[in-house]
Structure 1
Amino acid sequence: MEFNSFPVSTAVDFFRGLESSALNGITPGSTIDTALDIGNLDREFSFRDSVSPAEPLDVFSFSLRGTGTLAIDLQSLSADADLYLVRDFNGDRLVNNNEIVAASERAGNASESIRINNLVPGQYFVFVSQYQGSTSYELKISADVWQSSTINSFSPLYGFGLVDARAAVGMALGQSLEAVPDRSSDVPSNFGDLNLIDVPAVWERGITGKGVVVAVLDTGVDINHPDLKDNIWVNLGEIAGNGIDDDGNGFVDDRHGWDFGDRDNSPTPGRERGAEHGTHVAGTIGAKLNGITTDNRGNRVEVQGVAPDATIMPVRVLGGRFGNTADALARGIRYAVDNGADIINLSLGAGMNSPVLRSALTYAEERGVIIVAAAGNDANRGATVPSFPARDAALVDVGIAVGAVDRDVNIASFSNPAGTVLGEFPFVVAPGVRVLSTLPGNRYGTLSGTSMATPHVAGLVALLLQANPNLTPSQVENILIATSRNPALLA
């Protein structure tokens, strides 16, 4: 069942009466007022019942006293039923899509499963919903709770705070990293942003993102830029220019990635407005650590990526005849996953959720690929939560959402906040105001946006994966949450 498919009035009636209730019988009710109240979830809860067209909904409630990992399984199905975790964030006794914390909607009689790391204390509701036919089921709910003091406090503006590369990589290594002096330059540089998130201390340990592949799904990347060309991904299974799909991946001559905007093997920028965006993002992630360079006009500049030895996989999904669609983005995500990306940078946003896009994001997460997505630039237009696909970090526990701050760690006026209605989820901030980086044609320039903040975090994740290649997406999220700094506490 997709809640987006309900008319608003139907969805409201369907979930009417959302608040705490006591157990009035041994069977779950169809509203929260008659829900089966499990109480504090301090042990595994198991329950058997059934749903049918006549009685399509069973509702359970439980309380979580500390932050922890939640597991919910719906098994032994003979027909299609779906599973939802809900929290009434605004207390209005109604549920909208933003209050669906997680969902599992597999087809047919496949078992449903929800896993959430770092679920915060509070009261939650589990909905078992009939979709097609009648079925009995077995529901299991359990939680592994740890002390909430180990997790940073969550801010509606900053989420868990400003990322800290030195602390994060130290946690991944299981040891502390020594502080080093801030880097500086006599020419225009991006060292101010790198110093802000303590990147140079990680470089001092020889950790530069080497061996980690970061896919940049964007407007294309200038693969010949002097600061990028040595870090561009090469498909070793493909012979360039022979017109043959040598590696059998379905893409002919994709030596350096793929262009889903024009459906060809040249994932470089087009001529449309904003085409430099992807090259700028790529530079923040992986511009080479090569000192002062000279641009196409003879100006001296020094730009270095957070992970200057990471490999950049260009995938163009914005621009061209077929770009700027959920289908192009979903295809780009699957291409990146299938061709060896470890991290996918999504410095982009969509106006609404798309099932095809969410399926691709889940495809990546299930295969251990880490999604880092921009929160959006609509705060000045009233946005109170991240845009899609970053919002799926909250709704379906896929990816890391990133907001933008300036050099003084003030939230950028344009940056969508973490908000309050989605609860706590992987949301961090990074530099995103007047960020200096690479532009096509051996140029350099400054851009602002959560699009500029996101590659700082993607680059940091590359450092984490070099430090500890066995980290899972959830472990990376946990490290970022535990080590990010509350801006209110920064000197």
Structure 2
Amino acid sequence: MNKISLAFSAALMMTTAAFAQTENEVPKNWHQLDKATTGYYGISLDKAYEFVKTKKLKSKTVTVAVIDSGIDTLHEDLKPVLWVNPKEIPGNGKDDDKNGYIDDVHGWNFIGGTDGRNVKEDSYEAARVYHKLKAKYGSLIPDESSLKASEKAEVEVYKKAQAKILGTGEEEGGPTVEELKEFESNVTHADSILQIAMGKKVFTGNELKALNATTDEIKKMKAALYGVMDRNKALDQTNKDFVEGLKDYVAGEVRKDDAKKNPPKEFRKEIVKDNEADINDKYYGNNDLMASTPFHGTHCSGIIGAVRDNGKGVNGIADNVRIMMIRAVPDGDEHDKDIANAIRYAVNNGAQIISMSFGKDFSPEKNWVDDAVRYAESKGVLLVHAAGNDAKNIDSADNFPNANYIDKKGRANTWITVGASGDPKNGGLTANFSNIGKKEVDVFAPGVQIYSTIPGGDTYGSASGTSMACPVVAGTAAFLLEYFPTLSAKQLKYVIEKTAQAPDIDVKVPGTADEMTQLSKLSKTGGIVNAYEAAKLAATIKGERKITKVVAPKVTKAPAKKKK
């Protein structure tokens, strides 16, 4: 999963003095601002709204599917914009619209069980692939001269998985699992002490900053927790959310380390109970969209469509949008079958744009995902995907899902891959974690220190990652489609990419200390998404989309599950 970018590993190796180095504050809505009038490298959203207002354009509702970890369905800034299935009666335990999914009022959860349990954590795809092929070929890579063509391709994947799990011996030194565990323990201990000092169990990093530490111990604990929260640009988050995020991160690293020796636990199989080897076995899951992991999906959804101008929290980018949540991404790597079915669910239920902030290094059933992507394109749906947070060049490094079809028959024409940009005032114009690619990354968009909705009903905070840049583009696409509803998915892609603005300064190459270059060397367009310029171009284009009332298709009722 392309998680929110975290610097826990780096922070572990740094001193308390380094923690004290803070970056300049930026406005909470910096990503929406206009460079010419404010100096911040945002998407010029206010100018875009002014433009459509001068054109006297009225908006039409656009449905955006967010394939993610879940959503806080009760959040004050999201509840009014949740997609509602018009043919489903809430809570009656029936499949009213006969689409195979019971009580799918606001979307569907493909990683849940019919008994109400949900997949929270899962293994990594590299581990799943490695141990599956190890069982077939053994620990040693077989002599390829004796293999069939199909087996040679499989062995190439095995080599990559083996290198990913066991390492190549050339990796730079980093924190060990034991060091990470110790780091987690120290941060957790500091948090427990600071809860007493603060006089409350839950507080934000900014509130902690204002704490007057009266003893050396409190000063030390404050420096430890505040330092790592500041390093991760998480001062708007609560200590509770941040520490839980740290625990999830460390747990993931522990699972990675364990995968070197042991086959990964089949978390999903024990709960979902479908036949994962059969893509046609698609009527599984439940309607619990919040589950126990709603942070990521809630944050992404708010970026797209949090209610504008209601005097609460944040303004989303699109002002007339409905968010359809499809839960398919655990804490770990998503499964190809769930992503394929999530895309099809979104398309079949009227989504016009799909936002996908997840990704992985291996995709054993990519053909299933490709078929779903082709289906989405055939129905005129735009797919927006996060480029990933590994500071790698995905022109050469594997990154899934992607626009390239595995059968070599072209690539998706309604797909946008998004890298993360920042601002010189919050760390640099390119995010130091963002993946790049002259061929594979289409555009950049703000993805550093993005303020949005987080679980808690009325809670907000900042997060960073290409996971945040992706919904910035999805939200911009939704805004454009609202006011220019005849634009096809291909035209939306064209408009967004054609008007991306090349920065007026060189940028740092992510993952390097000080290597500078032009953004055009790191992405196809060489630009940052700009809603205002996109709206101006959209106004000059004759749309190809026919305006029809969106109605969920009639689907034959799902066959009854066989008892096991």
Superposition TM-score, scaled by structure 1 size: 0.55
User: Which residue of structure 2 lines up, in the alignment, with residue 472 of structure 1?
Assistant: 488
Gaps of 5+ in 2: 1-24, 34-41, 114-284, 506-526, 529-564
- 2:101 alignment counterpart: 251
Match of 1:401 among 417, 425, 435: 417
Aligned residue identity for 2:429: N
Give structure 1 stretches of 5+ with no counterpart.
1-186, 294-301
Match of 2:291 in 1: 270
Question: Are 1:203 and 2:49 counterparts?
Answer: yes
Please point out which of 286, 303, 306 is paired with 2:305: 286
Post-superposition offset of 1:267: 4.3
Contact 2:387 2:441 in 1 (8 A): no
Residues 1:404 and 1:200: Cα distance change in structure 2 (over 3 Å): same
Where 2:388 maps in the other structure, the secondary structure is coil
What does 1:25-44 correspond to in 2, within 5 Å?
none
Determine the structure 2 residue equivalent to 1:392: 404
Partner of 1:311: 322
Identify if the C-alpha distance between structure 1 residues 471 and 426 changes in structure 2 by more than 3 Å, giving closer, same or farther. Answer: farther
User: Secondary structure at the residue paired with 1:337?
Assistant: helix
1:341 paired residue number: 351
Q: Secondary structure at the match of 1:277?
A: helix
Question: Are positions 1:456 and 2:472 aligned together?
Answer: yes
- Aligned positions, number: 290
Distance 1:440 1:191 in 2: 19
The CA deviation string for residues 295-344 of structure 1, in whole angstroms up to 9 with x for no partner, is xxxxxxx41111132110011001289x8211011111100000000000
Query: In structure 2, how many angstroms separate the alpha carbons of the residues matched to 1:356 and 1:198?
Result: 38
1:193 maps to 2:31: yes
Is 1:386–1:401's contact at 8 Å kept on the other side of the alignment?
no
SS at match of 2:418: strand
**Cα shift readout 1:395-447 (whole Å, capped 9, x = no counterpart):** 6134001000102362111111123xx4xx67011000111111111221111
| CA apart distance, 1:251 | 0.8
Identity %: 39
1:221 deviates by 1.1
Q: Separation in 2 of the partners of 1:386 and 1:429?
A: 19
| Cα shift at 1:270 | 2.9
- CA 1:335–1:231 in structure 2 vs 1: closer, same or farther (change >3 Å)? same
SS in 2 for 1:379: coil
SS at match of 2:383: strand
Partner of 1:373: 385
2:362/2:398 contact within 8 Å kept: no
For the residue of structure 1 that corresponds to 2:334, the secondary structure is coil
Other structure's SS at 2:64 match: strand
Tell me, yes or no, if the aligned pair for 1:285 and 1:306 is still in contact at 8 Å.
Answer: yes
**What is aligned with 1:411?**
430
Normalised by the size of structure 2, how large is the TM-score? 0.48
Q: State the shift of 1:284 in Å.
A: 0.2
Per-residue CA deviations over 1:324-370 (Å, capped at 9, x if unaligned) read: 21101111110000000000000111323411111111111111010
1:471 Cα shift? 1.5
The alpha carbon displacement at 1:224 in A equals 1.0
Contact 1:386-1:416 at 8 Å conserved across structures:
no
Whichever residue aligns with residue 360 of structure 2, its letter is A
Secondary structure of the structure 2 residue equivalent to 1:233: coil
Q: Is the 8 A contact 2:29 2:450 kept in 1?
A: no
- Tell me how far 1:464 sits from its aligned partner: 1.4
Relative to structure 1, the CA distance from residue 382 to residue 358 in structure 2 (aligned partners, 3 Å threshold; closer, same or farther) is closer
Residue 463 of structure 1 deviates from its aligned partner by: 1.3
Decide whether the 8 Å contact of 2:373 with 2:412 is kept in 1: no
The 1:436–1:386 alpha-carbon spacing in structure 2 relative to 1, beyond 3 Å, is farther
Secondary structure, in 3 states, of the residue corresponding to 1:487? coil
C-alpha distance in structure 1 between counterparts of 2:112 and 2:459, whole Å: 24
Decide whether the 8 Å contact of 1:208 with 1:310 is kept in 2: no
- Quick one: structure 1 residues 359 and 351, their matched pair in 2 at CA, closer, same or farther if it must change by over 3 Å? same
Mean CA deviation greater in 211-220 or 189-198: 189-198
Is the CA contact (8 Å cut-off) linking 2:60 and 2:483 kept in structure 1?
no
Inter-partner Cα distance in structure 1 for 2:361 and 2:290: 23
In structure 2, what is the Cα distance between the partners aligned to 1:436 and 1:244? Answer: 38
Separation in structure 2 between the aligned mates of residue 484 and residue 371 of structure 1, nearest angstrom: 17
Distance in 1 of aligned mates of 2:493 and 2:82: 26
